[in-house]
Amino acid sequence: MPRYRFANFSLSPRRRLLLRDGRELPLIPRYFDLLVFLIERRHEAVHRREIFDRVWNDVIVSDSALSQAIRTLRRALDDDPREPRFIRTVSRHGYQFVFANVVEESDTDGGVPRAPLAALVGRRLQQAAGSTPVQWASASVGSGIAGVLAGAAGGLLLATAPGSMAPFAVVPVLAAIGGVCGAIGGAGVGAGISVGEASTRSKRAAAIIVGAALGGAIVGAAVEWLGRWSLAALVGLTIDAGGGIEGLVIGAAAGAGYALAASHSRLRAAALMAACCGLGAFALTISGRPLVGGTLHAIARQAQGSQISLTPLARLLGEPEFGPVTRTLLGTGEGAVFGLGLALGLTRRTFSRTSHETVTAH
Domain layout of the chain by residue ranges = 3-102+115-127, 132-346
Structure confidence at residue 273 (pLDDT): 92
pLDDT confidence band for 294 (50 / 70 / 90): confident
Mean pLDDT of 259-270: 74
Q: How big is the chain, counted in residues?
A: 362
Q: How many CA atoms lie less than 13 Å away from 124 in the CB half-sphere?
A: 21
pLDDT at 121: 46
What average pLDDT does range 202-231 have in this prediction?
Answer: 85
DSSP H or E stretch at residue 79: none
- Inter-residue contact 345 to 143 (CB < 8 Å): yes
Lowest-pLDDT range of 28-32, 191-195, 255-259: 191-195
Confidence of residue 117 (pLDDT cuts 50, 70, 90): very low
* 67-76: average pLDDT: 92
3-class DSSP state for residue 134?
helix
Across residues 297-314, what is the average pLDDT? Answer: 75
Indicate if the pLDDT at residue 307 is higher than 70: no
Q: What is the pLDDT at residue 111?
A: 47
Picking from 345, 54, 59, the residue whose alpha carbon sits closest to that of residue 204 is 59
- Return the pLDDT at 350: 37
Task: Indicate the pLDDT class of residue 348, thresholds 50, 70 and 90.
Answer: low
CATH number of 3-102+115-127: 1.10.10.10
Q: How many CB atoms lie within 10 A of CB 343?
A: 30
Angle between helices 266-286 and 324-346 (to 10 degrees): 150
Average pLDDT over residues 31-59: 90
The pLDDT value recorded for residue 270 is 86
To the nearest whole percent, how much of the chain has pLDDT over 90? 38
More reliable by pLDDT, 63 or 191 = 191
Least confident residue range of 1-10, 114-123, 230-239, 323-332? 114-123
Q: What is the pLDDT of residue 362?
A: 32
User: What integer pLDDT is reported at residue 356 of this predicted model?
Assistant: 37
For residue 86, what pLDDT is reported? 95
Q: Taking residues 8-13, report their average pLDDT.
A: 93
* The overall pTM is greater than 0.85: no
Q: Tell whether the torsion through CA atoms of 167, 172, 173 and 174 is positive or negative.
A: positive
* From 201-205, 248-252, 288-292, 333-337, the region with the lowest mean pLDDT: 201-205
Q: Mean pLDDT in the chain? A: 81
Amino acid 237 reads L
Q: How many CB atoms neighbour CB 164 within 10 A? A: 19
Dist. CA 98–CA 84, nearest whole Å: 8
